[in-house]
Structure 1
Amino acid sequence: MPSPKAKNNGGRSSSSSPSSVGSNNGRYEFMSLSRTPPPHLLQRQGSDPTCARLRASESPTRRRGSASSSGGPSSSGAGAAQQMPEEDCMRLNPSLVGIALSSLLAVDLWLSKRLGVCACEDSSWGSVRPLMKLVEISGHGIPWLAGVLYCLYKSDSAAGQEVMLNLLMALILDLVLVGVVKAIVRRRRPSHNRMDMFATFSVDRYSFPSGHATRAALCARFLLAHLVLAAPLRVLVLLWAVLVGLSRVLLGRHNVTDVAFGFGMGYCQYNLVEALWVSPVGLQGMLGLWN
């Protein structure tokens, strides 16, 4: 007859057998995830559908799915955060106009640097730099203002005074308009430029548009329209205007687009001067109103 101790030992051994791991009085036991169970326990769990369902419910994928399907404020905020980068990427896509402008700017900078052959004495055409600086001074605003004031003072005829007076107003208008556009655009001068220009002002550190080009186009059109000049002199006036604009690029003062826009702006300014033309009678009337 077996002893009670043997029965107890047998009960312990039977309770610790692999067949009792799955259930204990109708209750399932869960093993620790930090330790790897023996192979016979893995086989037992794999054959038990209840353990399979428990593993599926505890999987990280299931937990993430349940968290995303909860529909709380955090899930909606996360969805909006995931959509924001896509919208930002759509805004950052360059348009056709932006690509065209960027390409034009790159070509402008490259061509301006290639044509700046008189930017310094060590350049390929450095020996021509003094001559280009003389052309630069010939298109400066101060010599033109001084020369027009002198001609207005020395003129004896009413027609000559009228022409010089309107040319003086055209030069003042050009200075104001160019200064306003430069202050608005604020485009820096080319990197290879040397700031050794004659009589510069605060807005002269900006490049767009070229004030010399606007003045050359305005004065050339004004002189050709209101002065009686022979054919050689008319050609010289045109060549002077073109040379002034070309000198701005050769000296590295401006980019090509600055000079091109300056020529167009000066050409249009003459139309404004003609529309605002002031006669001596009209000038006397304005002076009488002021007095």
Structure 2
Amino acid sequence: MPSSPKARNSAARIGGGSVPSPAGSSRTELRAHQPLLLQRQASDPAAARLRASESPVRRRGSGSPGSTQSLPEEDCMRLHPSLLGIALRSLLAVDLWLSKRLGVCAGEDASWGSARPLMKLIEVSGHGIPWLAGAGYCLYKSDSAAGQEVMLNLLMALVLDLVLVGVLKAVVRRRRPAHNRMDMFATFSVDSYSFPSGHATRASMCARFLLTHLVLAAPVRVLVLLWATIVGFSRVLLGRHNVTDVAFGFFMGYWQYNLVEMLWLSPVMFQNAIGQLH
């Protein structure tokens, strides 16, 4: 007849021992085989690397937001832009905003649209073609050697201005303001670009040239300066250029005159150059 569980437990206590359980025996066997497992892991490095890569701790560390993985250098530069880049972008934003606010003659329906014909007349006065034609005519009609020398160098300065402005526009390729209407007089392919303002460079250079090499009365000198300023300012009012285009144009034209003085031609030098070409 089988004995009851209570009888078996009392018999075990009397005998001074305990009945070994199957779970306890399995744990004992695992501890006994653990040194052998560690030896096998040490002898198989590929399996060790695989287990290390599959470790839950590693997976949690690699996917957690607070992991200390280092970012690439270019990402760090994008996250921390330079102060110069921030300043340039801020200047560009202010330039675009101010140019749009000042473009009051950009169209007939603008706030100063009625003054657009006058602004376009001022635009023609600073165009390169009238200046080239006028300098060439004065050179042809001049009787004195001094007058021919001045007109010859003015003509050279105008050609130099067209070349330098055209090259710079082709390199920078800044588009004209969005509110501009392309109805300018006698435009070329590079005139679709905005930086720098050719009218501003020409007005600044020609004003300095005339004030230096022509004997003018005081009121006329004031009118020359006023004309150059109005030509540059009209470019912004018509919406042709941004403010920085005109400001850089004035600066470029002022220093462009220094280059003209360095390359100054006399009639004798010009005749010698023509003779060498023939």
Q: CA deviation at 1:205?
A: 0.7
2:130 alignment counterpart: 143
Q: CA deviation at 1:83?
A: 4.5
1:90 aligns with 2:76: yes
Report the RMSD for the aligned CA atoms in angstroms: 2.8
Partner of residue 139 from structure 2, selected from 135, 152, 156: 152
1:67 alignment counterpart: 52
Matches of 1:69 and 1:207, distance apart in 2: 60
Matches within 5 A, 1:114-153: 114-153=101-140
Partner of residue 159 from structure 2, selected from 161, 172, 181: 172
Q: CA deviation at 1:240?
A: 0.4
Partner of residue 225 from structure 2, selected from 223, 231, 238: 238
- CA deviation vs aligned residue, 1:178-203 (integer Å, no higher than 9, x gap): 01111111111111111111111111
Q: CA deviation at 1:245?
A: 0.1
Q: CA deviation at 1:169?
A: 0.3
SS of residue paired to 2:183: coil
Matches of 1:289 and 1:269, distance apart in 2: 27
2:237 alignment counterpart: 250
1:35 alignment counterpart: none
Q: TM-score, normalised by structure 1?
A: 0.74
Q: TM-score, normalised by structure 2?
A: 0.78
Q: CA deviation at 1:22?
A: 2.2
2:13 alignment counterpart: none
1:223 aligns with 2:223: no
Partner of residue 104 from structure 1, selected from 91, 97, 103: 91
Structure 2 spans left out of the alignment, 5+ residues = 6-19, 35-47, 56-62
Q: CA deviation at 1:216?
A: 0.1
2:45 alignment counterpart: none
SS of residue paired to 1:252: coil
Amino acid at match of 2:76: M
Structure 1 spans left out of the alignment, 5+ residues = 11-18, 29-48, 54-62, 71-77
- CA deviation vs aligned residue, 1:208-260 (integer Å, no higher than 9, x gap): 00000000001111111111111111111000000000000000000101000
- How many residue pairs get aligned? The number is 235
SS of residue paired to 1:22: helix
Matches within 5 A, 1:253-272: 253-272=240-259
Same amino acid, percent of matched pairs: 74
1:22 alignment counterpart: 23
Q: CA deviation at 1:268?
A: 0.5
2:60 alignment counterpart: none
Distance 1:21 1:86, change over 3 A: farther
- CA deviation vs aligned residue, 1:46-65 (integer Å, no higher than 9, x gap): xxx98xx9xxxxxxxxx999
1:278 alignment counterpart: 265
Matches of 1:83 and 1:268, distance apart in 2: 53
